[in-house]
Amino acid sequence: MIRNSLFKEGIEMKTVLQSTKNIILLCSLIIGFQVSAEKITEVENLVKDKVLTESLEMGDTHVYNLKLDAGQYVFGDAVQITVDLKVSIYKPDGEQLVSFDGPARGSETFQFNSTDAGIYQIKITPFQEEEGDYSIKIIRIEAIAKTPAGKVDQLMSAYTDKTPGVVIGVVRDGKLDFVRSYGLANIEYDIPNTRTTPFHMASVSKQFTAFAIVMLAQDGKLSLDEEIHKYLPELPKFEHKVTVRHLLNHTSGIRDHWTLWQMSGGRMDDVIRQEDLLRLLHRQQELNFKPGKQYMYSNSGYLLLSEIVSSVSGEKFGDWMQKNVFKPLNMNSTQIYDDHERIVKNRAYSYHYSNAGIAKSVLSYANSGATSLFSTVEDLALWLNNFKTGKIGGIKTIEELQVQGMLNNGETIRYALGIGVDEENGLRKLSHGGADAGYRSYLSYYPEIDSGIILLSNIATFSGGLISQDIATAFFSEKMTFESQEGQATMQENSTQSNEKAEKWIPNLNELKLYEGRYYSKELDTFYTVYLDDEKLLLKHTRHGDISLTEKDKDYFQSSVGFMHRLYFSRSEKGDINQFRVSNGRVRNLVFNKMD
């Protein structure tokens, strides 16, 4: 294509050949520079239980060899002493098997199964442009477990009597058939996790809120397709009608209260009360989109659903749940935790990995509906059994929970009422995960085989969805269908984006000064200041401090924090900056007007 276009312009062949030689020489120089910039060092062979300590510089890759037989399980630990690492595992044929890139500092544990005999390579690289010290050790090399229990033990190798951990439950035929507890519920007092340890359930709480709404609808106390103002008249009048079902399906367009909380200056480790979040929602004047147009996860919808339960029943949401759900199911260790000062005996505390190692992850919620259920693996087994029996609520309520949402265009979405509906290895699956602070939870139920998985963890790095699939395969594989992935096409979205790159906007100082000023949001009742510092535009809030802004285009900036991700500035007819709108993952077009 280059040669043809050059000929069309009348350039002679020798000129083209000389140009081609120059391009090849330039590419060789670039490639040579890139190769020299990355230094690959084969350190030494890894041996079980031997600790190796090394230093990484920018651009380094340390390669360790590990000789394995086929069918072996390997568990190791790369301790990030002063550098954040990425650990990548390669098979004998050079194909990458898996990679691990968890939190900065602390342990970067890794595990894998050998599929073939040979030399496996473990490559250690620094995250971005970091450099520093680390150590690496292979802790376990053993045959891949053959029993489901053994496979679970191997999966949970990272959790010891010195770390937070997880409680795992497997339910079959209405009974808690398998329970394993790993790690500590409380590190400060060395209290272990057990089958009776209460955990904060985060968004797994939503299916309980949905269950309450459907029970009330079955009793004729409310309608799922009624406009929400009938039950909550104090809410602002939006341009479009929002129904109870919209809230249940995450199709309401109502902005997410956690994101609004942070945008308003709140911190996620604050004491966050129901009334605080409701005040934010009562100030909202716009929706993200017309209700039913699309799916967008919104915690606000479920907080409002808990308010609807209180409105139509005349009782506090937590009290109604105790009387109508928890006590009848004998879920005696389960509660709606809507008072941050309430004592919960033997509860698991919440942790995450910081640069200094394991640290507390503070959670002081005093709100309900979207989160704040406390429960145990034993109680949740009773809950899953109710999906089969309908002892509480009846089978019609259980069936209604599984009705997937439908958008205005007729498209059916995966999300139903407080649960996701999916298929996994040939089995229908109802599931939901949860994540707040350092708590991680995951609940799945396979109605066709009356079986389920319960995962409760108190460490932020735990990945419930992935682990749940592995455990389900270990226990239910004889009832699953595994399809080959060979020859299957990967679905890609059609793109209308031009291949031509727009010229980058590079503003001068005078242009940046136009954005300076104090901006106010009526919907959040808060101020942000935009100002220049050392030729860099910054966004400042009294509680969040300085937030860096990066210009992406004229009047469009991206910030260094997710809750103020994209800022779109507007101008008056005279060309003066008069406002900006913020959009992020769960809030769109929230207005800040310039005050000076």
Listed in sequence order, the residues at least 6 apart from 497 whose beta carbon sits closer than 8 Å to its beta carbon are none
Residue with tokens 């606000």: 300
Q: Are residues 467 and 524 both part of a single domain?
A: no
Q: What phi and psi, each to the nearest 5 degrees, are found at residue 194?
A: -140, 175
Helix (H) or strand (E) holding 590: strand 590-594
How many Å apart are CA 274 and CA 306, to the nearest integer?
A: 10
Task: Please give the pLDDT value at position 37.
Answer: 52
How many Å apart are CA 12 and CA 99, to the nearest integer?
A: 51
Residue among 131, 128, 137, 132 nearest 64 (CA) = 137
pLDDT tens digit string along 476-526?
999 999 875 433 332 333 333 334 445 678 889 999 999 999 999 999 999
Q: What are 406's two structure tokens?
A: 């439908």
Q: Residue 503: inside a domain, yes or no?
A: no
Q: Are residues 259 and 347 both part of a single domain?
A: yes
Q: Residue 75: inside a domain, yes or no?
A: yes
Q: Residue 490: inside a domain, yes or no?
A: no
Order of strands across the sheet that contains 166-172: 175-182, 166-172, 451-457, 439-446, 427-436, 420-424
Q: Are residues 221 and 94 both part of a single domain?
A: no
Q: Are residues 360 and 403 both part of a single domain?
A: yes
Dmax (CA) for the chain in angstroms is 89
Map residue 218 onto helix, strand or coil.
helix
Measured between alpha carbons, how far is residue 84 from residues 133, 243, 571 in Å? 9, 47, 43
Pair 152, 474: CB distance under 8 Å: yes
Q: Are residues 288 and 228 both part of a single domain?
A: yes
Pair 592, 519: CB distance under 8 Å: yes
Task: Please give the pLDDT value at position 103.
Answer: 58
Assign residue 106 the CATH number of its domain.
Answer: 2.60.120.380
Q: Which domain holds residue 529?
A: 509-594
Listed in sequence order, the residues at least 6 apart from 178 whose beta carbon sits closer than 8 Å to its beta carbon are 148, 149, 152, 168, 169, 170, 475
Q: What are 217's two structure tokens?
A: 């609808």
Pair 313, 319: CB distance under 8 Å: no
Assign residue 560 the CATH number of its domain.
Answer: 2.40.128.50
Q: Residue 308: inside a domain, yes or no?
A: yes
Task: Please give the pLDDT value at position 487.
Answer: 34
Q: Are residues 260 and 356 both part of a single domain?
A: yes
Burial (CB count <10 Å: 0-12, 13-18, 19+), residue 546: middle
Burial (CB count <10 Å: 0-12, 13-18, 19+), residue 363: buried
Measured between alpha carbons, how far is residue 355 from residues 54, 56, 83, 188 in Å? 18, 17, 9, 18
pLDDT tens digit string along 256-270?
999 999 999 999 999
How many Å apart are CA 370 and CA 493, to the nearest integer?
A: 32
Task: Please give the pLDDT value at position 63.
Answer: 96
Domain final residue, candidates 93, 121, 144: 144
Q: Are residues 197 and 326 both part of a single domain?
A: yes
Pair 145, 80: CB distance under 8 Å: no
Which stretches of 264-344 are assigned E, i.e. beta strand? 271-273, 335-336
Q: Residue 495: inside a domain, yes or no?
A: no
pLDDT by residue for the chain (596 residues), tens digit each? Answer: 333 332 233 333 334 334 444 444 444 444 444 444 568 888 889 999 999 999 998 889 999 999 999 999 999 999 888 888 899 999 999 999 999 887 556 778 899 999 999 999 999 998 877 788 999 999 999 999 999 999 999 999 999 999 999 999 999 999 999 999 999 999 999 999 999 999 999 999 999 999 999 999 999 999 999 999 999 999 999 999 999 999 999 999 999 999 999 999 999 999 999 999 999 999 999 999 999 999 999 999 999 999 999 999 999 999 999 999 999 999 999 999 999 999 999 999 999 988 778 999 999 999 999 999 999 999 999 999 999 999 999 999 999 999 999 999 999 999 999 999 999 999 999 999 999 999 999 999 999 999 999 999 999 989 899 899 999 999 999 999 987 543 333 233 333 333 444 567 888 999 999 999 999 999 999 999 999 998 899 999 999 999 999 999 999 999 999 999 999 999 999 999 999 999 999 999 999 999 98
pLDDT over 70 percentage in the chain: 90
Task: Please give the pLDDT value at position 484.
Answer: 54
Task: Please give the pLDDT value at position 21.
Answer: 42
Q: Residue 518: inside a domain, yes or no?
A: yes
Q: Are residues 92 and 209 both part of a single domain?
A: no
Q: Are residues 397 and 262 both part of a single domain?
A: yes
Q: Are residues 211 and 252 both part of a single domain?
A: yes
Listed in sequence order, the residues at least 6 apart from 103 whose beta carbon sits closer than 8 Å to its beta carbon are 84, 352, 353, 354, 460, 461
Q: Are residues 32 and 47 both part of a single domain?
A: no
Q: Residue 161: inside a domain, yes or no?
A: no
Task: Please give the pLDDT value at position 362.
Answer: 96
Q: Are residues 290 and 371 both part of a single domain?
A: yes
* Predicted model pTM: 0.86
Q: Residue 164: inside a domain, yes or no?
A: no
Domain final residue, candidates 478, 496, 528: 478
How many Å apart are CA 380 and CA 403, to the nearest integer?
A: 22
Listed in sequence order, the residues at least 6 apart from 301 whose beta carbon sits closer than 8 Å to its beta carbon are 246, 247, 248, 250, 252, 254, 370
If one counts the domains in the chain, the total is 4
How many Å apart are CA 279 and CA 273, to the nearest integer?
A: 10
Assign residue 234 the CATH number of its domain.
Answer: 3.40.710.10
How many Å apart are CA 222 and CA 220, to the nearest integer?
A: 6
